[in-house]
């Protein structure tokens, strides 16, 4: 009788594991097709919504032991939806979504602080949340320090992970964070330049690095060099497997040039 119970429990465990794996595979397939447009050229919002729901289902499966990777995939899917496809989504709703995501990641980091997947995910989520709450509120909440902490941890673990995310993000934090005498002394545009040049050296095909470096160079007074990198962003050919990210970046670059009153 005891053996039968154990066998049945093992059977349920393996069924649960297979079901979870199938869910993840389905979510991956939907997420990997995120840049395939509908016939009218618009993004397939329904597919990314399904991917997010499936990743959440897989995460809630207690038998799943690969939570770090699932959280990483969920973070990327959420980010694609709310910052690439639906940038005009109500800000307060976005705040709730990223706040809940941060709680999930923080809870897992308690037991796995050295996970590159979790450190990447929380750095990205904190960064987006800081953008949503505004510069002064973010400064009051110490968001820059939190982002810096986990980004440096990722830099230590794997600085080439996700298109050199760690040096790229460190460069961006130094650029975006206001320097406040006696309170926040570490932000440095020169350090921003150093990190972004390192990222560019190792991940030259990731055009966000070109854009961020252009911003930093312009602020430092290297206007000719900055314009060269802005131009690269405008001129590169949109990649079909990265269609909506590329279009979003090009749009942001055009807006920046307009803001700086630069004609290329």
Q: Is residue 36 in a domain?
A: no
Q: Is residue 252 in a domain?
A: yes
* pLDDT value of position 9: 42
Q: Is residue 224 in a domain?
A: yes
Please report the beta strands in the chain, taking only residues with DSSP state E, as ranges in sequence order.
Answer: none
Contacts of 226 (CB under 8 A, 6+ apart): 214, 215, 217, 218
Q: Is residue 192 in a domain?
A: yes
* pLDDT value of position 140: 85
* pLDDT value of position 87: 75
The pTM (predicted TM-score) of the whole model is: 0.89
Q: Which residues of the chain have pLDDT under 70?
A: 1-21
Q: Is residue 41 in a domain?
A: no
Q: To which residue do tokens 């509908």 refer? A: 38
* pLDDT value of position 142: 92
Q: Is residue 238 in a domain?
A: yes
Q: Is residue 198 in a domain?
A: yes
User: 3-state secondary structure string, 175-187?
Assistant: HHCCCECCCECCC
Q: Is residue 77 in a domain?
A: no
* pLDDT value of position 21: 60
* pLDDT value of position 242: 93
Q: How many other CB atoms sit within 10 Å of the CB of residue 106?
A: 14
Domain holding 212, by residue range, is 159-177+185-264
* pLDDT value of position 49: 96
Q: Count up the domains in the chain and report the number.
A: 1
* pLDDT value of position 136: 82
Helix and strand numbers (H, E) in the chain are: 12, 0
* pLDDT value of position 261: 92
Q: What is the CATH number of the domain that holds 167?
A: 1.25.40
């Amino acid at each position: 009788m005891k053996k039968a119970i154990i066998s049945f429990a093992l059977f349920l465990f393996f069924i649960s594991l297979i079901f979870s794996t199938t869910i993840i595979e389905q979510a991956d397939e939907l997420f990997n097709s995120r840049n395939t447009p509908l016939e009218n050229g618009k993004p397939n919002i329904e597919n990314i919504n399904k991917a997010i729901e499936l990743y959440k289902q897989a995460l809630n499966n207690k038998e799943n032991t690969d939570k770090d990777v699932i959280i990483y995939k969920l973070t990327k899917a959420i980010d694609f939806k709310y910052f690439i496809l639906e940038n005009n989504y109500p800000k307060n709703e976005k705040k709730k979504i990223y706040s809940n995501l941060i709680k999930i990641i923080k809870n897992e980091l308690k037991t796995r602080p050295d996970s590159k997947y979790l450190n990447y995910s929380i750095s990205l989520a904190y960064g987006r949340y800081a953008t949503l709450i505004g510069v002064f509120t973010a400064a009051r909440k110490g968001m820059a320090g939190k982002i810096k902490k986990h980004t440096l941890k990722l830099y230590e673990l794997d600085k080439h992970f996700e298109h050199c995310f760690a040096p790229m993000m460190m460069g961006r934090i130094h650029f975006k964070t206001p320097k406040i005498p006696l309170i926040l002394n570490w932000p440095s545009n020169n350090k921003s330049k150093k990190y972004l040049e390192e990222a560019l050296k190792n991940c030259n095909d990731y055009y966000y690095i070109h854009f961020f470096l252009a911003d930093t160079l312009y602020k430092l007074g290297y206007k000719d060099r900055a314009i060269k990198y802005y131009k690269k962003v405008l001129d590169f050919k949109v990649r079909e497997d990265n269609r909506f990210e590329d279009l979003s970046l090009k749009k942001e670059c055009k807006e920046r040039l307009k803001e700086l009153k630069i004609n290329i």
